[in-house]
A and B are shown apart, each in its own frame.
Chain A
Amino acid sequence: MPANPLPPPFRQYELDDAYDEMFAPDQAVRAHYDTLHQRLLETPVEEMRRRKQAADVAFLHQGITFTVYGRDEGIEKIFPNDLLPRIITQTEWSKIEQGLAQRIVALNLFLKDIYHEGKILSDGIVPREMIYSCKHYRRQMKGLDVPKDVYITVVGTDLIRHPDGRYLVLEDNLRVPSGVSYMLTGRQVMKRVFPELFRACSVKPIEEYPQALLQTLRNLAPHGRTDPTIVLLTPGVFNSAYFEHTYLARQMGIELVEGRDLVVNDNILYMRTTAGLRRVDVIYRRIDDDFIDPLAFRADSILGVPGLFNVYREGNVTLCNALGNGIADDKAVYAYVPAIIKYYLGEDPILHNVETFLCSNPTHLSYVLENLDKLVVKAVGESGGYGMLIGPHSTKEQQEDFRRKILDDPRNYIAQPTLMLSRAPCYIDGQVEARHIDLRPYILYDGKKVTTVPGGLTRVALRKGSLVVNSSQGGGSKDTWVLHDKE
């Protein structure tokens, strides 16, 4: 606990071992948070309350929602948003940006290699059985050439900040990352609520994202399709991210289609319109690999398009992201990413991984089993906080249960130290309090250029003490500001 209590509205503000985004360990305000800090001290309680209300109403009216599964209607919830921005300096950001670009390019080369010659496997950098035992490996992709060799088009990498201030990569989301609509709409709301703070801080704009995404998709059109038709493929209204799908389609001015809108004829893909069939060239797909074509993958899928994979194999349509990307964001393969970067690019990684123990490695395994009460254990195939053991918060029975599971199938488990996410100021019930946060920047890649929108989505665990930032479990978001360098 700090020696001196902080002045209001910071009375409840906790400072401890976690990295704090606003305060240095000696309670001095970090320079890039100065303006916001000053504003918070000066703004009367009532005024803050009024702005909070204005922001909430704006979110409600824009219908910025996510879907909670399991009820038959009224299932859309408003996405909780914190009033205070998370601020990143230009210097920090440049490094993140370079690190992400390096990582995406290397992982893309890795995917191409895995689905073609497999040199990295022959050279013994990544164990062969690790690839073939991954449930996201798609043998159908073997030998298939994708346009411009781009597998990874849209990425949302999860970063966290270590207590020592370094940004670490927690997860690469290379399949169908979501959340970018909350970043864009959150910014709109903040501009309305804090116009003067925006001017004072010189924040880098993010509004070009939809246009950049459209351009990226266009650049990946099949060869010879000079004026491609691009669509966004959604699983439908019951998907949790349906709001985002409609939002992005509207912002890009492209059709939002469902599987039943698409038909395949003679290896050409069409959508059914009132003016007849129209050829489709590029699909920004928000459906998982398994569901995309019942003939090639899961036969019980009713969301996909029968025959789509054949069209894809013929090169008559581009899918973004490519199929089979899950092999590169597998939680066990993750541990090899630094080696992957070194192998393909001959560079040292700019952004580091979180220390990871692979249960398939005997030395690691015995360490993990001895320290189950201290580590976080994750099943490699799961996401969204499922199949996880958080050591320090677990019971003996849970630990024993995981011990059995790990020994049954070591390949399926990894362990990491329990991480202290960094904390940032949040507006909670009229006070400013510290809450744990992470960062998900959005990156686009078209084979030539890596585009990163400055900032991204900061997710925040709004419950006191919680480290879980998922929206389904009491998480929310924050607007993320990357500042221009002061002259």
Chain B
Amino acid sequence: MLSRVADGLYWMARYLERAEHTARLIEVQLNLMLDQSAYSADQRWRRILASLGDPKLTTEARDAQSLTYALIFDRTCRSSIVAAIVAARENSRQVRQQISSEMWEQLNRLFHQVRRADLEEGWDPQPHDFLLDIHEGCHLFQGITDGTMSHNEGWQFIQIGRHMERVMATSKLLDTHYREFENDEQAHLEWIGLLRSCTAFEAYCKYYTADVRPDRVAEFLLLNEEFPHTIRFAVDHLEAALQALPDSDGRCVRVGRLAGRLKASLSFAQSDEIMSQGFNSYLHSIQQQCEQIDSALRQAYIDYPIESALTA
């Protein structure tokens, strides 16, 4: 497979995962704003924006409505839904002959849905239905991808992109929450909000009952191995997809080692040890390791120097 194509599939998946993540954050935020809480909506927005890490976005001189609008429709903002979907579509256009027609059609549909909503006048400041459509559209795309594309190398690159984005997004979100509410008994609603932002509320309740406690939420989102939106789950799948890449000449030894180490460290981690050593720094180290995996992946498959490939 062409390196450019592998890269395109990887980014297509990452951007779609990003669109879905942003949609969920907005949805939860709008929902929380309806409840009385000890915490101002303003702080919450600040936290969301910090977790998205987009330098263009600040809460200054912006009300909830304009922030919501920006996070959905502002193309210049990297993590907005529309920017992510446009980028995903551009990437898929580059690799059009590698993905199934059904995938292309679904992504196109999603793109037109967002564009249409932007063109409508009198846009609804509580766009629950619209956000729901985005979720469903992204889920449908994943289902179509699994059902209509060969589970070959290209498919593995899609899995890698998706889970990479998920690890990064979830760990940043968890990071900003934990920093603020680690020892706060009042923050009950905020922790529920965090779980919902990862669609993990129900799964958490089944595991720990509805007794929402900060250390348990943190542990669940970090270490639970069964729920798809936890960091551990995503890392496991990331590692599995990397292992599944064809490797005839040992080019992926380094990337395999990095991913294997991260996976092992999460598999054998003890939550009390992590907490005592500093939860936030543990999350940072995960992010760093993911960045290393990403760059090792590029060096092995995409941007490798010609000389090394010729001597191999």
Contacts and interface: CB of A to CB of B under 8 A. Distances in A.
Interface of A: 61-63, 73-74, 236-237, 246, 249-250, 255-258, 260-261, 263, 265, 270-277
Contacts of A237: 90, 93-94, 96
Interface in B106-149: 115
Interface in B4-57: 4, 6
Nearest to A62: B101
B301 interface: yes
Contacts of B310: 265, 277
A256 B306 contact: no
B2 interface: yes
B86 A263 contact: no
Contacts of A258: 4
28 contacts: A61-B105, A62-B101, A63-B101, A73-B86, A237-B93, A237-B96, A246-B96, A249-B97, A250-B97, A258-B4, A261-B2, A261-B3, A265-B306, A265-B310, A270-B306, A272-B4, A273-B3, A274-B2, A274-B3, A274-B246, A275-B1, A275-B246, A275-B248, A275-B249, A276-B251, A276-B304, A276-B312, A277-B309
Closest 8 A-B residue pairs measured CB to CB?
Answer: A274-B301, A272-B3, A246-B97, A277-B309, A276-B309, A250-B97, A246-B96, A274-B6
Main SS class of interface, B: helix
Given A265-B310, A273-B3, 8 more contacts: A74-B115, A236-B94, A272-B2, A272-B4, A272-B302, A275-B248, A276-B304, A276-B309
A63 B312 contact: no
Interface size, B (range): 20 to 34
B212 interface: no
A263 B97 CA distance: 22
B306 A274 contact: no
Nearest to B300: A274
B77 interface: no
Contacts of A256: 97
B175 to A, nearest CB: 32
B87 to A, nearest CB: 12
A61 B109 CA distance: 12
Interface string B164-177: 00000000000000
Contacts of B97: 246, 249-250, 256
Contact of A257 (B2, B6, B249, B302): B2
A61 B104 CA distance: 11
B102 to A, nearest CB: 10
